[in-house]
Structures are given as structure tokens and as C-alpha cells.
Amino acid sequence: SAIVHNLKQYQQLLQPATKIMAMVKAFSYGSGSYEIASILQFHKVDYLAVAYTDEGVELRKSGISLPIMVMNPEPESFAMLTEHHLEPEIFSFPILTAFQDFLKRQGLQQYPVHLKIDTGMHRLGFELKEIPALAAVLENNNLLKVQSVFSHLAGSEDAGLDYFSLQQIDTYVKAYTILQSVLSYHFIRHIANSAAIVRHPEFHFDMVRLGIGLYGINTTSATN
């Protein structure tokens, strides 16, 4: 009931058309992946995200049918990933090439993927200077279907870092605009985490990612 309450509090902050991706990685932060995912599926969350393929496989085996993004898809898990209709996060050219090669060998086409853009955290993701090359790979690409293009705000909970959040948004918009220009279809755009849902409604775009806020941890000064 607490999870449902938290979910509804965040839903009230969104426009009706804005989708929600719920983070259920790391055993739903210790809360029990299937139990949480089942509640979220019942309440019509749009997407789930897990850290590793085996987490997604367990959810599928438990009857979860929602789309699931895998944040750290390892090449040795590609067969399990596609068998269970999981959707990989693609964050570098090596993982992109490896996954395309796998799809070719399996005879798969139009497989849904999620592209991570590095807008300033410098952990994982395509940098802005790499986007033209990425766009060239994706143009007229029959192997992949870009389901979403996203990034992560490093300091969305901190008013003192709003200037940096704005820089990140600027980079993100430039990146997805280039990618959209070469694709004949629209993808989902998302960058807002739990704190940004509260503090930056102008950054909600098409979907938001609800993580620790779903589990009752509020990193902003706002009250939920």
C-alpha cells in the first residue's frame, strides 16, 4: 500500500500522457522484485528497468509482461535477453556492435533498444561528439528499433546544481535532435529521475524514471 501511495503521489505531478519507467533493479532495492513489479504492472506503469538480464528473466518467469529495460546487458546474456523479450540499454559503440552482430546471427530485426547519452556524469553513454557517428549507424538500420533515448541528471535534487542540470538538458536535446533527424519514427525521451519529477516538471519529456522515490526516499525538500 505504501508503494501504491508513493506511485500515485508522483503520478499526480505528471501530465496524463507522460509515461513512467519504474526502477526495480537490485531486487527492487531490497523490496522484492516480483512483488513490486506485480503491483506496478497492476497499476499500469509503462516500463520497468533492471540492472542485469537475469533480473529481467526472473520477472518474465514470474508472469511480468511489461516492457523491461536492462541497464547492463552483457554480451554473454544476449540470447537470454532476446528469448525473454527484454530491451537492452546501449551505451557505447562496442556494446552496439556486439548486439548488432548477435542480431544478425540470430536473424532478428527491429529489436527494441534504449540509447544512453552521457550529458555530464561521465560514467556510461554516448558523448555529444559521438552522436553524428551513432546517427550514421542507426540511419536505415533494420536490425534495431530505438525505443528511447535518455540521460541521467547528476544533481537534480540540488538547487545549487540547477545550472549544471540545464547544461545537461541542453546537451541531451542536441543529441536526441540529431538522432531524431535520421529516424523515420519517434522514440521516447526521458531524463527526469525521482528528484527531477518533483523539482523540474519542465524536464519530464515523454517519460520519467521513478526510482528511490517509489520506495519512500525523498531527496528533495518537497514533501510527498
pLDDT band at 219, cuts 50/70/90?
low
Percent of the chain past pLDDT 90, that is, above it, reads: 80
Q: State the CB neighbour count (10 A cutoff) for residue 175.
A: 25
Answer whether 114's CB lies under 8 Å from 148's CB: yes
Q: Say how many residues make up the chain.
A: 224
Single-letter code of the amino acid located at 194: S
Model confidence pLDDT, tens digit, residues 50-93: 999 999 999 999 999 999 999 999 999 999 999 999 999 999 99
Residue 13 has pLDDT above 60, yes or no: yes
**pLDDT score at 2:** 87
Report residue 159's pLDDT band, with 50, 70 and 90 as the boundaries. confident
Per the CB < 8 A criterion, the answer to whether 164 and 154 are in contact is: yes
From the list 211, 222, 213, the residue with the least C-alpha distance to 47 is: 211
Query: What ranges in 107-149 are assigned the alpha helix state H?
Result: 131-138
Determine how β-strand 207-210 pairs with β-strand 111-116. unpaired
Q: pTM value?
A: 0.93
More confident of the two residues 158 and 186: 186
Residues above pLDDT 70, as percent of the chain: 93
